[in-house]
Chains A and B, each alone.
Chain A
Amino acid sequence: MAASANGQGYKVIGTRPIRHDGVDKVTGRAKYGADFSFPGMLFGKVLRSPYAHANIKSIKTEKALAMPGVKAVITSADLPEIADKMEQAGEQAVNMAQLSANILARDKVLYDGHAVAVVAATSPHIAEEALRLIEVDYEVLPPVMSVEAAMEPGAPILLPRLRNKEEGPDKQTNVATHLQFKRGDLNEGFKSADYVVEREFKTAMVHQGYIEPHNAVGIYNADGHATIYCSTQGSFLVRSLSSAVLGIPEGNLKVVPAEIGGGFGGKTTIYLEPLSVLLSKKTGHPVKLTMSRAEVLRATGPTSGSTIRCKMGCSKDGKLVAAQVWMAYEAGGFPGSPVGAGAMTIIAPYNIPNMLIDAYDVVVNRPKTAAYRAPGATNAAMASETVIDELADKCGIDPCDFRIMNGAKEGTPQTAGPPYRRIGFIETVEAIKNSPHYKSKLEGPNRGRGVASGFWFNVGLQSSSIVNIHTDGTASVVIGSVDIGGTRAAQAMIAAEVLGLDANDVRPLVTDTDSIGHTDVTGGSRTAFATGWATYEAAQDVVRQLKERAAKLWEKKPEEIAFNNGQFSAQGDGIKPMTVKEMAGRLARTGGPVSGRATVNARGVGPAFATCAVDVQVDPDTGKVDILRATIAQDVGTAIHPSYVEGQMQGGTAQGIGWALNEEYFYDEKGVLRNSGLLDYRMPTCLDLPRIETCIVEVPTPGHPLGIRGVGEVSIIPPPAAVANAIAHAIGVRMTELPMSPPRVLKAILSKRGTAETQAAAAGR
């Protein structure tokens, strides 16, 4: 179902051509990072800490090095020392010293699975065996596993040099950052409220769950240049980060992005990539490293668990008047949780005149967190959207109407202050309210329906694109954006739309860092927006050049040539309009090949909103929650390829439901991860989910030539709160902790029964 507002008469955009990369993928010909092999290639394996928190007193590698087949062993001593400060690396602000210490621990290990040493050998088995011969002398320290424990006075300190501005330069701390957002008069706001709801929420650390583990092949040449083949969301990011960590000039590194088997934000940093280069430099051979699933879960970017206290007030007629939030996110072993984004998204869908938000980034002995689809926002919405639902209940107002009444629109100030431009939040709520799902009746015991919404910023950043016209009138689009969820198809369709070609006449190509201008990561829901903008401009550049060629052919001035509906034309006797395909055959005689180019540093990004409705059935004896029906509405600006857009919406919703019901890192009392496999780390399968219905809402982003908004992230935000609200309506229990797994739900049911029985007994006395 599409609630289109763009009204554009596109010919290619909005259609559903077969994906350009489909055949290679279904026939197994597509090359993923682990598929790359080179003559003489060695295999690397990483030794990881068995302790969550320990000082490294010494590392002895001699026995491993002496093992036949072992060619090199490296530790952090082989990496250059880097200044301990934030630096711009591509589109990210990164503390390079901490990044380096996460890739290979220096004087401390900070989580179970922290990399300590790496071996390169003639086979992966020899490399793995050699790891056992590396002797690491640890001084084990008490692990700090929660934000509460980390913020306690006297808590063990993870990073001796970490300071924050508030506690001053002399105070060691586990709190890396405190952010605050304030508006209006909070006390007056709450005084004017008729209803106030305040609850504390906890959300578990969860993993992005990409199916393809991290991998890298590094080849260091004798001339000081190196090439990295890897699975990444950003080849230019891998280049800049690896350059900094290795102390190699960026221009000496080439990164070739392989096909990617999922990323969801977790592949916007580096782990193995610089190690493969360093081992290659030491051995003179190509070196391949691949992670196991356990390594992925133990040592690569999960997203933060969190504790959030959320208090909101509204008038009897449902007008939100005040909100206060305290939130602390687990950053992992190094600072950098997405708590800032959590703070700026938690009440972003609403116009609330009085607010105070305090947000804390806290280091704990867990893996360094990485981005995960709308980082920080899902945790936050679990809190705020549950409280909103409870307030709507108290007011006796339909949850959709409550959201529409208080919803942000053009001119509403965002949490950090700037006003929204044209946005489509209310349209997403209306789409849910008018959906067949929401209009259907839900009957039966222990069944309930829940609604929740979410906001994500989306980002713009830098992209480059080249459009080549071939002699047969087909075209190719060359980009640096890795294709995670339809990038190739979208870019081909945009070029085809501009040039009046069929989508299948345009071949999209994702290339390496030497072959295209700088392009930031495929992440932040930016690629269709920014790379799409670059491709649109590159195709327009082709049109400009072809006008010049037509002018030559017809002995006209370029400005006398028109291009409409895919045809070049001019006034004059005997001038027959020509298509791009017809023009292509004349290029050699009119000046040679035509290639359009464009780069953008995209501005005017349009934020995204989504609203989700979920029906559940709760088993009161086991606490198991079944999802009966789920619908997601999302403002996407303009849907380039609606099937891909729906896929993003469904994928985000599925991940949000997994986060809601089952996914969770289990650590024991020593801080060791106990569910480092996908049998125990329970992601949803197709058997756990109904078909997820989608409502594409199209409120074009002002200023973008095609009105595109990002689509990749926001749909993950509402599902946990929608599920929690549905459970509340099914069994009358407000769940405040994720995941809402059977034991937790059953405990809440029993607690409610116990309270009811106690009250009944008291009333009987």
Chain B
Amino acid sequence: MATVVIPAQLRKLTGGKDRVSATGRNVGKLIEDLERQFPGFHEQLLQDGDVKPSIAVSIDGEMGTGGVLEPVREDSEVFFLPALGGG
């Protein structure tokens, strides 16, 4: 199972846990599993069927570009972060 590192403000959904395990071959499936375990993730992370524009996903230290289609490995470490722009 992948390890999902929970941002500080979503830890209320996981009972305070900062890391949880979840399964899914991509980010979309992973969020589905998070939602099953800890209801509320769907609303926090998804909009119109994809990852919210304001959120970025880091998988194994690399920023994903594929939204819900971004592949996740069984031993991946996944972070949800605020999305950024530059100047």
Contact = CB atoms under 8 A, between A and B. Distances in A.
A binds B: yes
A523 B86 CA distance: 6
B20 interface: no
Interface in B44-77: 47, 52-54, 58, 61-63, 65, 77
B86 A374 contact: yes
B63 A523 contact: no
A713 B61 contact: no
B85 A375 contact: yes
Q: Name the residue in B52, B62, B65, B82 with the highest tally of chain A Cβ atoms < 10 Å from its Cβ.
A: B82
Contact of A344 (B5, B62, B84): B84
Contacts of B83: 93
Contacts of A524: 84-87
Q: Name the residue in B53, B58, B87 with the highest tally of chain A Cβ atoms < 10 Å from its Cβ.
A: B87
A340 interface: yes
B85 A179 contact: no
A526 B86 contact: yes
A686 to B, nearest CB: 23
21 contacts: A86-B52, A86-B53, A91-B85, A92-B53, A93-B83, A181-B8, A265-B86, A340-B82, A341-B84, A344-B82, A371-B86, A372-B87, A375-B85, A375-B86, A417-B79, A418-B77, A457-B84, A523-B87, A603-B62, A603-B63, A710-B86
A43 to B, nearest CB: 30
A525 B85 CA distance: 10
Chain A contact surface mostly = loop
Contacts of B18: 182
A503 B53 CA distance: 39
A589 B28 CA distance: 51
Contacts of B53: 86-88, 92-94
A180 B79 contact: no
B61 A418 contact: yes
Given A86-B54, A93-B53, A418-B79, A603 B65 contact: yes
Nearest to B83: A93
A271 interface: no
A179 B86 contact: no
B58 A93 contact: no
A94 B83 CA distance: 11
Contacts of B82: 179, 340, 344, 416
Interface in B30-50: 47
A457 B77 CA distance: 19
Given A416-B81, A418-B79, A264 B87 contact: yes
Contacts of A178: 9
Interface in A516-568: 523-526
B69 to A, nearest CB: 12
Interface in A349-382: 371-375
Nearest to A356: B8
Interface string A44-64: 000000000000000000000
A179 B84 CA distance: 13
Interface of A: 85-88, 91-94, 165, 178-182, 208, 264-266, 268, 340-341, 344, 371-375, 416-421, 456-460, 523-526, 601, 603-605, 710, 712-713
Given A179-B82, A181-B8, A417-B79, A601 B87 contact: no
A440 B46 CA distance: 56
B87 A605 contact: no
A492 B18 CA distance: 47
Given A416-B82, A417-B81, 13 more contacts: A180-B7, A265-B86, A371-B87, A374-B87, A375-B86, A416-B81, A417-B79, A460-B63, A524-B85, A525-B86, A603-B62, A710-B86, A712-B87
Given A419-B61, A603-B65, A86 B86 contact: no
Contact of A456 (B7, B54, B63, B86): B86
Nearest to A345: B84
A528 to B, nearest CB: 13
B84 A268 contact: no
Interface in B1-31: 5, 7-9, 18
Contacts of B9: 165, 178-180
Nearest to B86: A524
A86 B46 CA distance: 12
A421 B61 contact: yes
A688 B86 CA distance: 28
B45 to A, nearest CB: 13
Nearest to B53: A93
Contact of B87 (A85, A86, A344, A713): A713
Given A182-B8, A417-B79, A265 B87 contact: yes
Contact of B86 (A88, A208, A457, A603): A457
A712 B86 CA distance: 10
A371 B79 contact: no
A601 B65 contact: yes
A379 to B, nearest CB: 13
Contacts of B61: 418-421
Shortest beta-carbon contacts, A-B, top 8: A265-B87, A524-B86, A93-B53, A371-B87, A340-B82, A182-B8, A180-B8, A373-B87
Given A460-B63, A460-B65, A603-B63, A417 B84 contact: no
Contacts of B79: 416-418
A46 to B, nearest CB: 24
A107 B53 CA distance: 27
Nearest to A91: B85
Given A93-B53, A179-B9, A603-B65, A459 B84 contact: yes
A264 B87 CA distance: 6
Contacts of A179: 9, 82
A358 B19 CA distance: 20
A340 B84 contact: yes
Nearest to B84: A341
Contacts of B47: 85-86
Contacts of A180: 7-9
A524 B5 CA distance: 26
Q: Name the residue in B47, B52, B53, B65 with the highest tally of chain A Cβ atoms < 10 Å from its Cβ.
A: B53
B52 A459 contact: no
B81 to A, nearest CB: 4
Contacts of A456: 86
